[in-house]
Copies of this chain bind each other. A is one copy, B any other.
Amino acid sequence: MRKVAESTIRRLSLYLRLLEEFEAQGIATVSSEALAGRGGTTSAQVRKDLSFFGSFGKRGLGYSVPELVTELRAILGLDRRYQVALIGAGKIGSALVQYRGFRQRGFDIVAIFDVDPAKIGREWNGLVVQDSAALETALAHEKIDMAVLVTPGEAAQPLADRLVALGVKAILNFAPVQLTVPHDVVVKTVNLALELETLSYELTNRG
């Protein structure tokens, strides 16, 4: 498969959200214009994005909503559920555990770890916070698909190495460092201060 830009994937996710809303409203077909208008893009971009993955829709008739929902779920790997381990039971970790958006999209947090003795043993959303030192023991018999890493910067790389050794192939990293992982592991880093910096850049440089 050709390499697809991350911006395309993000738009596919947005189209899927819009299609699910249309489906909930009982709408059977949509035009590329309808998807574009709500997704903040153009109908030409919608057609280009979708044509990349196959031939969807019929000229003059638009896209079948349930078919496109099914196709996009398959393309995005959302036709299954994922077992997610959360490493770091701080404020952001706490928000993520209770974030319904994860479970709604098929991401189930099934284990939580921290190094803080005050947190270890406490119950969070039905899960007991476990000691990060015991990561290998705790995950020996549990298949973890993804890890969400919400630790201080200096703790992140050693934990990433241990997660990779345990077979984790995808990491969502909130720690303020660039992680080094083998080629078959995917890392996505979210840096909230950096998001504000893209705004300050825009505020400073617009004409």
- Which positions in A face B, CB cutoff 8 Å? 1, 4, 6, 9-10, 12-14, 17, 38-40, 75-78, 82, 84, 90-92, 94-96, 98-99, 101-102, 104-107, 145-146, 169-172, 176, 178, 184, 186, 188, 190-207
Closest Cβ neighbor of A84 among chain B residues = B196
Question: Is A101 in contact with B200, judged by CB distance below 8 angstroms?
Answer: no
Can you tell how many copies of this chain the complex includes?
2
Question: Is A178 in contact with B39, judged by CB distance below 8 angstroms?
Answer: yes
Q: Of B94, B169, B194, which one neighbours A10 at CB under 8 angstroms?
A: B194
User: By CB atoms of chain B within 10 A, which of A98, A104, A178, A196 has the most?
Assistant: A196
What residues of B have a CB within 8 angstroms of the CB of A13 in the complex? 191, 194, 197-198
What residues of B have a CB within 8 angstroms of the CB of A204 in the complex? 75-77
Rounded to whole angstroms, the CA-CA distance of A106 and B75 in the bound complex is 40
Question: Is B192 in contact with A9, judged by CB distance below 8 angstroms?
Answer: no
Q: Of B4, B38, B207, which one neighbours A178 at CB under 8 angstroms?
A: B38
In the assembled complex, the CB of A33 is this many whole angstroms from the nearest CB of chain B, namely 15
Chain A to chain B contacts (Cβ below 8 Å), 5 pairs:
A9-B198, A90-B95, A170-B200, A186-B202, A188-B199
What residues of B have a CB within 8 angstroms of the CB of A188 in the complex? 195, 198-199
What residues of B have a CB within 8 angstroms of the CB of A178 in the complex? 14, 38-40
Question: Is B199 in contact with A146, judged by CB distance below 8 angstroms?
Answer: yes
In the assembled complex, the CB of A137 is this many whole angstroms from the nearest CB of chain B, namely 25
For the complex of A and B, list the 5 residue pairs with the smallest distance between their C-beta atoms, beginning with the closest: A77-B204, A77-B200, A91-B95, A101-B193, A170-B199
Closest Cβ neighbor of A104 among chain B residues = B193
User: By CB atoms of chain B within 10 A, which of A176, A199, A206, A207 has the most?
Assistant: A199
Rounded to whole angstroms, the CA-CA distance of A202 and B17 in the bound complex is 19
Closest Cβ neighbor of A97 among chain B residues = B91
